[in-house]
Amino acid sequence: MADPEPEGVDVEAIRQVIQTADVFVVRFGLVEHRLMVDARLDNEGRPYIKIVPPVSSLEERYRFLQRERPGLSPPEQITVFQWPRSITVLRDIGLWDAIEARMAEVAGEPAARMAREAFREGRRLERADTLALIRGGEGYETLWERDRG
């Protein structure tokens, strides 16, 4: 059974952003990396969809986008929203399908494939972070350890 929609999250508003915003960023609750989507086409007819590192300010995000997409002018706006659950829940409630459909709409199957690759990378990062959490890895502190004696 799929997880229910996260409480306090306006899923329809998020769907609207996915379908209409030129550039949006998803801040995940479980990993520090973000999903960045730029539906504008570059000079080779490609949009941009990748898991990207966090930045400390909106200005830094604009600079990051300029480095990643040097042939495009800065967007008028970057819409950012918080997703408090896993990337899998984003998929399970249909929002990832909306992202993939938007990519396919703007640039066909190659762009939809880019979206699937971004999803796989997001899941990989979530799994790695979960393992670090369980094992007390970097950024986490172990509350108790098994007696090895």
Reduce the secondary structure of 83-121 to three states and give it as a string: ECCCHHHHHHCCHHHHHHHHHHHHHHHHHHHHHHHHHHH
Helix or strand (DSSP H, E) at 38: strand 34-38
- The pLDDT value recorded for residue 8 is 79
Instruction: Give residue-wise pLDDT tens across range 26-66.
Output: 999 888 999 999 999 999 999 999 999 999 999 999 999 99
Q: Is the pTM of this model over 0.95?
A: no
By C-alpha distance, which of 9, 7, 2, 5 is closest to 82?
A: 9
CB 81 within 8 A of CB 27: yes
pLDDT > 80? residue 143: no
Listed by start position, the domains of the chain span 11-135
Tell me how far CA of residue 129 lies from CA of 12, 125, 134, in angstroms. 29, 6, 9
Q: What is the pLDDT of residue 130?
A: 81
Across 13-35, average pLDDT: 95
pLDDT at res. 137: 66
Q: How far apart are CA 64 and CA 70, in angstroms?
A: 10
Q: What is the dihedral of CA 11, 58, 41, 69, to 10 degrees?
A: -140
108 — alpha (psi -120 to 50), left (phi > 0) or beta? Answer: left
